Amino acid sequence: MRSGHIKLTLYLFGFAGAALFTGLLIRQGAADVGRAVATAGWALLAVTIYHLLVPVFLDAVAWWVLFPKPERPRLRQLFWMRWVGESISTLVPSAAVGGDIIRARLAALHGSRLTISAASVLVDITLGVFTQAAFTVLGLVLLVNATGQKSFIGPTLLGTLAGVVAVGGFYFVQRLGMFRFLALIVSKLASSEGWHSLIEGGATLDETIRQLYARRGGVIACCAVTIVSLVGGSGEIWIALHALGLHATIVNAIILQSMVLTIRSVAFPVPGGIGVQEGGYLVVGNLLGIAGDAAFALSLIARVRELTLGIPGLIVWQIVEGRRLLRAGPTPTVEET
């Protein structure tokens, strides 16, 4: 029943986002937006290639440096796993964090210990939120300097602070050993000694997480590469601005990147940030003097990039899972056993 309620909630958020998207498109003029996107032309392909080679690659590097050197997978492996994970998180409606789970699973399937794969992803997510908060503050400072507008500072900082506090709490419970504690609760509720291995597995995961946080060099490198990835990701917005004939500056690109990422993160229950992302581009674009149809076109260019990279990523994921099932062979039936 609870699973049904969760699905219903996701569908409601999805429908609300789709309605918002449609309303904004009608308001800005579908024809005007279409013409703006058409003028982008070459930028659609350029943005797609840039996103794969810069943000996705750098995010893979940030994940890679968290692994201890003796257990570090090849960077090219983590690169395609990161791509697949992002594709799932972006395009699968019920998988806001599902892509992170899948990339941990893929790393384990390709030779890494399950505990180090899961722990590295958890640490990567935690550090990524802290780093994105810093990127949000950078965007706010640049936006105030560029526009003189200050009315939105309070709500944005409040939302960012709430996210940091929540993730900070998650960080501390990780250090305290949350997974062994959760496994112990499950074992007690089940009233069975058969859950003892689950407790041991939770304790091993907790210890692995502590070891990753203790590697200060890896933590610092992960944060540094992540902030470079966030700033570098602004380059695809700069490309789109230039293709649309707008005032293309690095400052404007960083402002749009940081603010839209923040807005989309706050509205994480909405699948794919549909409607919310478009609203973010319109609000921030208006502050920067970008016309509504052009701002909406910027969001659609990002959507085209998500589909162009995401659909092949989902196909690769299905191929990997299909091959694994074929190697495993058919599951024995009751009669066979």
pLDDT tens, N- to C-terminus, the chain (337 residues): 455 555 566 557 667 766 776 777 676 667 767 776 777 778 889 999 999 999 999 999 999 999 999 899 999 999 999 999 999 988 886 555 678 889 999 999 888 998 899 899 989 998 998 898 889 888 888 888 888 776 666 766 676 676 667 666 766 666 665 555 455 444 444 444 544 444 456 678 888 888 999 999 999 999 999 999 999 999 999 999 998 888 889 999 999 999 888 888 777 667 777 778 888 888 888 888 888 888 888 988 989 898 999 999 999 999 998 888 887 665 544 444 4
Count of domains forming the chain: 1
Of the candidates 235, 126, 218, which has an alpha carbon nearest to the alpha carbon of residue 173?
126
Show the domain range for 237.
Answer: 17-107+219-321
Q: Does 161 fall in a domain?
A: no
Evaluate whether residue 210 is within a structural domain: no
The pTM for the full model equals 0.81
Q: Is residue 101 a part of any domain in this protein? A: yes
> Angle at Cα 27 formed by Cα 23 and Cα 31, nearest 5°?
105
Q: Nearest to residue 108, comparing CAs of 121, 117, 97? A: 117
Let me know if residue 256 belongs to a domain: yes
Q: How many residues does the chain have?
A: 337
- Alpha carbons within 13 angstroms on the beta-carbon side of residue 334 total 0
CB atoms within 10 A of CB 305: 23
Nearest to 120 by CA among 87, 72, 167: 72
User: Has residue 305 been placed in a domain?
Assistant: yes
The verdict on residue 118 lying in a domain is no
| H helix or E strand, kind and range, residue 317 | helix 292-328
Residue 61 forms part of a structural domain: yes
Strand, coil or helix: what is 68? coil
Q: Per the domain annotation, does 148 fall within a domain?
A: no
> What would the two tokens of residue 300 be?
């659609």
